[in-house]
Chains A and B, each alone.
Chain A
Amino acid sequence: MPQRIDGSGETVRFTFEGREVAARAGETLAAALIAAGETTTRDSVVSGAPRGPFCMMGVCYECLVEIDGVPNRQACMIVAEPGMTVNRQTADEVVA
């Protein structure tokens, strides 16, 4: 499991696939998911194979998730906000 090296920090809570995930204030959804041990964020639109954050800098588009019902959002570019409902992007959701 990933670990956080420094103790406390302000916590922001959102849900991922219905489970509560704690993020540090100001960090991206992808970072919070990785810290929570969630490495799979979407299914490939071609084969359905699982994919997860790869570059963490907005260029690979592997971390696409659905946020509050809107698909194709880059989890590594979007800062976690309280109450966000985040879900894995499944293969049948059309990529923009």
Chain B
Amino acid sequence: MNSYDVVVVGAGPAGMACATEASRAGLSTLVLDEQPRPGGQIYRDIEVSDPGRRALLGKDYGEGARIAEAFRASKAEYRSGAVVWNIDSEKRIDYSAGGRSHSVQAKSLVVATGAIERPTPMPGWTLPGVTTVGAVQILLKTSGIVFEDLVLVGSGPLLWLAATQMIAAGAPPKAIVETVPRSRYREAARHFAKALRGWRYLAKGFAMMRAVKKAGVPVHSDAADIAIEGEIAVTAVTFTSGGTRQRIETAHVALHQGVVPNQQITRLMNCKHRFDDSQRAFLPVVDESFETSIPGVYVAGDGAGIGGAKSAEMRGRLVAMRIAEKVGNRAGEAAKLRTELAKDAAVRPLLEALYAPAADVLAPADATMVCRCEEITAGQIREAVALGAPGPNQVKSFLRAGMGPCQGRMCGLAVSEIIAAAKGETPSTVDYYRIRPPLKPLLLSELAGLGAEEPREAAE
């Protein structure tokens, strides 16, 4: 089995920057990533996007080219199309690529699997034609696909960024239905002075809102009680805004309530996690060098708490510097990077307060489907709690919630929130699903070939 000083899982900004810095420090480095090309979701297809597409996606997207170039020029090995499905406590990683499984040994493991979108349970959210906002961005980045009737629903910077990109692409959204309650602005205002250090983000935010206004996109503010209508596919979205019930006909709805750390690997490895009230999500517990409670396991990028692409790149570099320092290799200068990182994070408390998830999504109505795979409703989860299920793992046993192919990725946070509310506790005490291998479903044929690349003599 091949062994590396550093194995990085994920080739987004954090993974690419970490691998570049680690190989620069003389560490043997392997990057495993699911996608065919590096970039992660934020810089998806950055290497193959033409100047036209880059122009409409914006300057920040273009930044990814520099990171990807440095990564390609580095000595780090890169395996694309590699799906990691298990990592054991000795940091032996099993992954599937090219139709079969492989194993590799890591001395240090860097989890750079970033963020996923927060589950957004609401009536009709499983209908074909309903996607995440991230999905419509991915379609634009990879394929230049736009929709003439897209309705963006939810809250967060990504909602406005997607709208701006659609406008630049010549296909403005049909409407934006924003779920931020008016009272939130007052709550968020107390973070404004601190956020001024991150003036560049604030300026970008205001510019995006101006662009939406200039393009004449209708914005429905303070929207609640959202329901998506349709029998076999979405036909309309309805909501209450400004005291009246409204209905917009569309075949394409994109939902967003912010992004949260992808916990699958850190949960699988039994790293300690905590519930962060400001981000309203579970984060792995890490030290100032992003090392988890398990020695030699690091989390770079949004997986350690949402900080955005710029922070992800810096965190990736810091992790590599720390690993190099530990083995006595010459590491880069971390102090300046830490100052930069703190400055980049200044805007976060404001964003987290203003764009906290909508109450409807955290406490869906009884009839709303929460676990999409197994079709379990919020009411069934509450009933299971009333029958004595103390937490997510018992709810899973009672109902099969979280046991479908997505393995809880699309319902886990919502399930923890619903159980906590039903018990009068916090998600922190009810905790989260236990995550077990395989991290992603795999074919038996992929499993059957495991270890076959080694000659039999060597294996014995």
CB distance from B442 to the nearest CB of A (A): 7
8 A Cβ contacts from B134-166 to A:
134-135, 138-140, 142-148
Is there a chain B Cβ closer than 8 Å to A4's Cβ?
A: yes
Is there a chain A Cβ closer than 8 Å to B390's Cβ?
A: no
How far does the alpha carbon of A95 sit from the alpha carbon of B405 in the complex, in Å? 7
- Residues on A with C-beta less than 8 A from B116 are 55, 57, 59
Structural contact, B145 and A79, CB atoms closer than 8 A = no
- Residues on B with C-beta less than 8 A from A2 are 139, 145-147, 252
- Residues on B with C-beta less than 8 A from A79 are 36
Is there a chain A Cβ closer than 8 Å to B72's Cβ?
A: no
How far does the alpha carbon of A58 sit from the alpha carbon of B41 in the complex, in Å? 11
CB distance from A45 to the nearest CB of B (A): 8
CB distance from A50 to the nearest CB of B (A): 5
Closest A residue by C-beta to B168: A5
8 A Cβ contacts from B390-410 to A:
404-406, 409-410
Structural contact, A61 and B404, CB atoms closer than 8 A = yes
- Residues on B with C-beta less than 8 A from A27 are 142-143
Count of chain A to chain B residue pairs whose CB atoms are closer than 8 Å in the complex = 132
Q: Mark B30-72, 1 if CB is under 8 A from A, else 0.
A: 0000111000010000001010110010000000000000000
8 A Cβ contacts from A1-17 to B:
1-6
Is there a chain B Cβ closer than 8 Å to A77's Cβ?
A: yes
Is there a chain B Cβ closer than 8 Å to A35's Cβ?
A: yes
CB distance from A47 to the nearest CB of B (A): 6
With A54-B132, A95-B404, A95-B405 known as contacts, the answer to whether A6 contacts B50 (CB < 8 A) is yes
Is there a chain A Cβ closer than 8 Å to B373's Cβ?
A: yes
Structural contact, B135 and A53, CB atoms closer than 8 A = yes
Structural contact, B146 and A53, CB atoms closer than 8 A = no
Closest A residue by C-beta to B137: A56
Is there a chain A Cβ closer than 8 Å to B374's Cβ?
A: yes
- Residues on B with C-beta less than 8 A from A59 are 116, 262, 406, 409-410
CB distance from A10 to the nearest CB of B (A): 12
8 A Cβ contacts from B101-119 to A:
116-117
Closest B residue by C-beta to A32: B143
- Residues on A with C-beta less than 8 A from B138 are 31, 56-57
Judged by DSSP, the binding face of B is loop
CB distance from B284 to the nearest CB of A (A): 18
Is there a chain A Cβ closer than 8 Å to B232's Cβ?
A: yes
- Residues on A with C-beta less than 8 A from B144 are 4-6
Show 6 A/B contacts (Cβ-Cβ < 8 Å), sorted by A.
A5-B170, A39-B233, A51-B126, A54-B372, A64-B405, A72-B405
Structural contact, B146 and A57, CB atoms closer than 8 A = no
- Residues on A with C-beta less than 8 A from B131 are 53-56
How far does the alpha carbon of A82 sit from the alpha carbon of B394 in the complex, in Å? 46
- Residues on A with C-beta less than 8 A from B406 are 59-61
How far does the alpha carbon of A39 sit from the alpha carbon of B252 in the complex, in Å? 10
Structural contact, A72 and B132, CB atoms closer than 8 A = no
Is there a chain B Cβ closer than 8 Å to A66's Cβ?
A: no
Name B375's contact: one of A1, A40, A46, A62 (CB within 8 Å). Answer: A46
Structural contact, B148 and A3, CB atoms closer than 8 A = yes
Structural contact, A35 and B375, CB atoms closer than 8 A = no
Interface size on A, residues (CB 8 A): 42
Is there a chain A Cβ closer than 8 Å to B130's Cβ?
A: yes
Structural contact, A3 and B135, CB atoms closer than 8 A = no
With A26-B36, A59-B410 known as contacts, the answer to whether A31 contacts B139 (CB < 8 A) is yes
How far does the alpha carbon of A41 sit from the alpha carbon of B142 in the complex, in Å? 19
- Residues on B with C-beta less than 8 A from A32 are 143
CB distance from A73 to the nearest CB of B (A): 9
How far does the alpha carbon of A62 sit from the alpha carbon of B169 in the complex, in Å? 27
Structural contact, B143 and A35, CB atoms closer than 8 A = yes
- Residues on B with C-beta less than 8 A from A4 are 143-146
Name B232's contact: one of A41, A45, A50, A58 (CB within 8 Å). Answer: A50
CB distance from B439 to the nearest CB of A (A): 11
Is there a chain A Cβ closer than 8 Å to B451's Cβ?
A: no
- Residues on A with C-beta less than 8 A from B374 are 46
Is there a chain A Cβ closer than 8 Å to B367's Cβ?
A: no
How far does the alpha carbon of A85 sit from the alpha carbon of B244 in the complex, in Å? 48
- Residues on A with C-beta less than 8 A from B132 are 54-56
8 A Cβ contacts from B401-455 to A:
404-406, 409-410, 440-443
Is there a chain A Cβ closer than 8 Å to B296's Cβ?
A: no
Is there a chain A Cβ closer than 8 Å to B129's Cβ?
A: yes
Closest B residue by C-beta to A7: B144
How far does the alpha carbon of A86 sit from the alpha carbon of B335 in the complex, in Å? 53
CB distance from A4 to the nearest CB of B (A): 5
How far does the alpha carbon of A72 sit from the alpha carbon of B441 in the complex, in Å? 9
Structural contact, B410 and A60, CB atoms closer than 8 A = yes
Closest A residue by C-beta to B376: A46
